[in-house]
A and B are shown apart, each in its own frame.
Chain A
């Protein structure tokens, strides 16, 4: 395990019932870097992402073998609760999913359930979080309006603000821009690049240009296997594996 590694997967296998969805994955995710997971639909990107914050615990019949270490500690074999883990490892989904509440309540929700009650403290967290994702000025005059009235791009950035409000260490993003227009997409990309100073980011994307633009490391999955991983700049210029080449150049049938 290298010094800078945030997550380490070792001999990780995952089964949905009889279906072998992740096959002996060995992979290190570096701290304060953006790691992009790419691969065709159904190859196991989301499954892998979800093993990093135990979202698969909710799936019946899901069985996991091997180790997933966060800062060297196995997240499946320690006394760290799944709740605590998910505070350290936040997640942003493909479809923006704000709660049907005000903008303010969306951001204050996490800190509130973690015991913060004082309004002045919550006010401050809301402002800092919204500032962090660059939407404070846009939202400050309508904090108490419903989040559902926002555009998709605004909702997604609100969801990221909600995620960072509980001070995670890692932010997982599963196709966070696939429902967004190009401008909102660029805003999220810029945000991700900005965020990696504070967080470790793992992003699933079907957009090769996006992976190429923002990630430091790229991992290519195929049929549950990790086929190739490497520095993004090398992988997109000179992939080692022929299957990677075929996939990223759009020649994969």
Chain B
């Protein structure tokens, strides 16, 4: 052993950068949670500005992956990693985008009369945040069990999403003047649910890296919703 030192160093470098990107995404989520709580317009702008940094991280990692693939023709676990990194960073980038999407709604909400947010939105947000935190840790430790836990947690978010939709519906019925605000909350609720889907995908790539079995977790929502005879 000990051959291919430059190759190993570059693989490690890419791995570290993916982890850093994951941490940045987690930070963006934390900022989004606080900005929403405080209806902080300045913080919302900062989240959107910061998105360029995460985009640049994605581009940088992607270029490194392409270079190393062309130069080194990786196979076996090296290739599993690189193929996974390239998929993971695209999902991470989408999560960051969703933070910025939510930031736009925070600014809108801040300009309108304050209403009581849907009761389960905070829980959906913090559960999704926990999934991202677990994903970052699972990636760092190549912890298959933790990655699988993240995948399972997606169902909880789906339930919370539905609860919030119900609450929003009730709130609009009760106060039609607040329809604008609740539509904004509805979008935020949807974004949180999408973010959970993306982190689920990232976690399933961790399983591919460690186990070598391709089992990407797509949302089963479409399968459920497209049943011809729904119960």
A residues contacting B by CB (< 8 A) are 208-209, 212, 236-239, 244-246, 248-253
- The answer on a CB contact under 8 Å between A209 and B79 is no
Which B residues are CB-close (under 8 A) to A250?
Answer: 3-4, 7
In the complex the two chains form, is B75's CB within 8 Å of A249's CB?
A: yes
A246 to B4, CA, bound (A): 11
- With a cutoff of 8 Å between Cβ atoms, the chain B residues found around residue A239 in the complex are 76
Assess whether A249 is in contact with B77, with CB atoms less than 8 Å apart: yes
**Are the C-beta atoms of B2 and A249 separated by less than 8 Å?**
no
Give the Cβ gap from B86 to chain A, nearest Cβ, in Å. Answer: 16
- Given A237-B212, A238-B212; A245-B77 close (CB under 8 Å): yes
Q: Please tell me the number of chain B residues within 8 Å of chain A, measured between CB atoms.
A: 16
Chain B 198-222 near chain A by CB (<8 Å), digits 1 or 0:
0000000000000011000000000
Task: State how many angstroms separate the Cβ of B2 from the closest Cβ of chain A.
Answer: 5
Q: Note all chain A residues with C-beta closer than 8 A to B73.
A: 209
B75 and chain A: residue at smallest CB distance: A236
**CB nearest to A236 among chain B residues:** B75
| Cβ distance B160 to chain A, nearest Cβ, rounded Å | 36
CB distance from B191 to the nearest CB of A (A): 35
Interface string of B76-87 (1 = CB under 8 A from A): 111110000000
The residues of A that contact B8 with a CB separation of less than 8 Å are: 251
Which residues from chain A contact B117 at a C-beta distance below 8 Å?
A: none
A43 to B214, CA, bound (A): 33
For A253, the chain B residues whose CB sits under 8 A away are 1-3
CB–CB A251/B75 < 8 A? no
Cβ of B74 within 8 Å of any chain A Cβ, yes or no, is yes
Query: What residues on A are CB-neighbors of B3 within 8 Å?
Result: 250-253
Across the interface, A237 reaches (CB within 8 A) one of B1, B2, B4, B76, namely B76
Query: Can you give 19 contacting A-B residue pairs, CB < 8 Å?
Result: A212-B75, A237-B75, A237-B212, A238-B213, A245-B77, A246-B1, A249-B4, A249-B76, A249-B77, A249-B78, A250-B4, A250-B7, A251-B1, A251-B2, A251-B3, A251-B8, A252-B1, A252-B3, A253-B2
- Give the docked Cα–Cα distance between A237 and B73 (Å): 12
Which A residue sits closest to B11, measured CB to CB?
Answer: A249
Cβ–Cβ < 8 Å partners of A238 in chain B: 76-77, 80, 212-213
Q: Which 9 A-B pairs have the closest CB atoms?
A: A238-B212, A253-B1, A236-B75, A245-B76, A250-B4, A249-B76, A249-B78, A239-B76, A253-B2
B2: nearest chain-A partner, CB-CB: A253
Chain B residue at minimal CB-CB distance from A212: B75
Cα A244 to Cα B79 in complex, Å, equals 15
> Which residues of the other chain, A, contact B212 by a CB distance below 8 angstroms?
237-238
A245 surroundings in chain B (CB, below 8 A): 76-77
Of residues A236, A238, A252, which shows the largest number of chain B Cβ atoms within 10 Å of its Cβ? A238
Please judge, given known A-B contacts A237-B80, A238-B212, whether A249 and B1 are in contact too, CB under 8 Å. Answer: no
Per-residue CB proximity of B57-83 to A under 8 Å, as 1/0?
Answer: 000000000000000011111111000
Question: Which of chain B's residues has its CB closest to A250's CB?
Answer: B4
Complex Cα distance, B5 from A253, in Å, reads 11
